């Protein structure tokens, strides 16, 4: 499967001196250009990463679904041999935050769901959001299942797809059942006005339980770390 091809001008902006600092480049709504945001100890991605390490016994491969600018990938690459990243939007900030020269990270510009198809995308975090980004090209985007990639030795899966988590999980059943990875999942309290808490409940049917819950003040989502029931928490 073809990986994302990044422009050299974005790759060249990566600064290795920033890797283990709080510096992170992100696209901020309503602001043009790259913004430096604080990825200090109180950053939700850092909190979830550090909390998940308590339950991980193997650190071979990880999957980041909805990787955006690399908010979570930057931490996963510290611990895992390889990280497979999926986001149908190839955001230029990703190669600015992630060292792509070490061949530890693979990025695929595809959406993940419960079937292999093509659909028109919204250009938003939720592939099927009713609010369409007018700048997004009006062309169909490829959707694959995670199982299609036949990834091996998966020890952690992180899912942040703004309400499409249930479809992503249904397309990853074989991978989850075979490797029993730690799963980090974001669930919105509302998705386009419709309550959506199905992702966590679906994962529980595979023999998982909630090990950790993080609720950021003022935000409409919750983040869960889910582990197989046999893991002591």
What would the DSSP string read from start to end of 168-190?
A: HHHTTHHHHHHH--EEEEEEES-
Taken in order of first residue, the domains within the chain and their CATH numbers are 8-228 (3.40.50.150)
pLDDT, one tens digit per residue, over 135-190 is: 655 677 889 999 999 999 999 999 998 878 899 999 999 999 999 999 999 987 65
- The candidate with the shortest Cα–Cα distance to 77, out of 89, 53, 61, 93, is 61
Check if the beta carbon of residue 97 is closer than 8 Å to that of residue 14. Answer: yes
Helix (H) or strand (E) holding 123: none
The C-alpha atoms of residue 123 and residue 147 are separated, in whole angstroms, by: 24
Check if the beta carbon of residue 18 is closer than 8 Å to that of residue 38. Answer: no
Other Cβ atoms less than 10 A from the Cβ of 201: the count is 10
User: The whole model's pTM is what?
Assistant: 0.90
The C-alpha atoms of residue 226 and residue 213 are separated, in whole angstroms, by: 9
pLDDT exceeds 60 at position 208? yes
pLDDT exceeds 70 at position 31? no
Q: What is the mean pLDDT of the chain?
A: 86
Of the chain, the percentage scoring pLDDT greater than 70 comes to: 84
**Confidence at residue 169, expressed as pLDDT on a 0 to 100 scale:** 97
- The candidate with the shortest Cα–Cα distance to 231, out of 182, 173, 158, is 182
Q: Starting from the edge strand earliest in sequence, which strands make up the sheet with 111-112, in order? A: 111-112, 140-144, 117-120
User: Considering just the CA atoms, what is the radius of gyration of the chain in Å?
Assistant: 17
pLDDT exceeds 90 at position 201? yes
For the chain, the first-to-last Cα distance in angstroms comes to: 37
As given in the structure block, the two tokens for residue 121 are 């995308």
pLDDT, one tens digit per residue, over 50-92 is: 999 999 999 999 999 999 999 999 999 999 999 999 998 888 8
Q: Which residue has the tokens 């909190």?
A: 47
Check if the beta carbon of residue 113 is closer than 8 Å to that of residue 133. Answer: no
DSSP code of residue 5 = P
Check if the beta carbon of residue 72 is closer than 8 Å to that of residue 85. Answer: no
């Amino acid at each position: 499967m073809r990986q994302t091809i990044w422009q050299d001008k974005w790759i060249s902006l990566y600064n290795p001196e920033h890797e283990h600092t709080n510096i992170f480049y992100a696209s901020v709504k309503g602001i043009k250009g790259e913004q430096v945001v604080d990825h200090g100890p109180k950053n939700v991605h850092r909190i979830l990463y550090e909390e998940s390490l308590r339950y991980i016994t193997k650190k071979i491969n990880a999957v980041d679904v909805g990787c955006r600018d690399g908010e979570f990938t930057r931490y996963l690459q510290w611990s895992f041999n390889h990280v497979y990243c999926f986001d149908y939007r190839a955001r230029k900030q990703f190669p600015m935050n992630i060292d792509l020269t070490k061949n530890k990270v693979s990025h695929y510009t595809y959406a993940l769901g419960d079937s292999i198809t093509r659909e028109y995308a919204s250009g938003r975090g939720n592939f099927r959001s009713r609010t369409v980004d007018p700048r997004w090209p009006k062309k169909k985007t490829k959707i694959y299942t995670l199982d299609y990639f036949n990834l091996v030795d998966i020890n952690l899966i992180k899912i942040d797809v703004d309400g499409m988590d249930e479809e992503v999980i249904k397309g990853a059943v074989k991978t989850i059942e075979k490797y029993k990875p730690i799963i980090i999942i974001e669930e919105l309290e509302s998705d386009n006005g419709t309550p959506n808490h199905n992702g966590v409940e679906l994962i529980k049917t595979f023999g998982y339980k909630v090990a950790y819950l993080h609720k950021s003040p003022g935000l409409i989502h919750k983040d869960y770390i889910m582990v197989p029931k046999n893991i002591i928490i």
